Amino acid sequence: MTEQYKLRYLESFEFDNNLEKVRQQGIAATQQVLGLRLIENGQTLQGRELVQTSTVVLGNSPKATLGLILSYLPLTWRQLAWKVV
């Protein structure tokens, strides 16, 4: 839940080029974490969307790729896999 508030907070500002780039990276990192949590809790469509959006800024990461792969597993398997990972 705190990631949602953090995301809204970060989206409410706009800065110069250097600071704006840092802000965009912070938004993308928060989107990725929130997306992964949503995937873990069964809200796969919203989670996938946030993770995919974050990869535009952050690029593909092993964490994002694994989260997207796990999002296609049934919820019970997904929750077990998150405990192992």
Radius of gyration of the chain (CA): 14
Amino acid symbol at 72:
Y
Rounded to a whole number of angstroms, the distance between the first and last alpha carbons of the chain is 22
Does position 6 have pLDDT exceeding 80, yes or no?
no
| pTM of the full structure | 0.77
Q: H helices of the chain, where?
A: 2-11, 17-40, 44-58, 62-70, 75-84
pLDDT tens string 19-64: 888 888 988 999 999 999 999 888 999 999 999 999 999 999 999 9
**pLDDT value at position 14?**
73
Domain boundaries, the chain: 2-84
**pLDDT value at position 31?**
93
- Give the contacts of 51 (CB within 8 A, at least 6 positions apart): 31, 32, 35, 36, 39, 64, 67, 68, 71
**pLDDT value at position 48?**
95
Higher pLDDT, 13 or 35: 35
**pLDDT value at position 51?**
96
pLDDT tens string 72-83: 989 888 888 877
C-alpha separations of 57 from 47, 51, 53 in Å: 16, 11, 8
Amino acid symbol at 33:
V
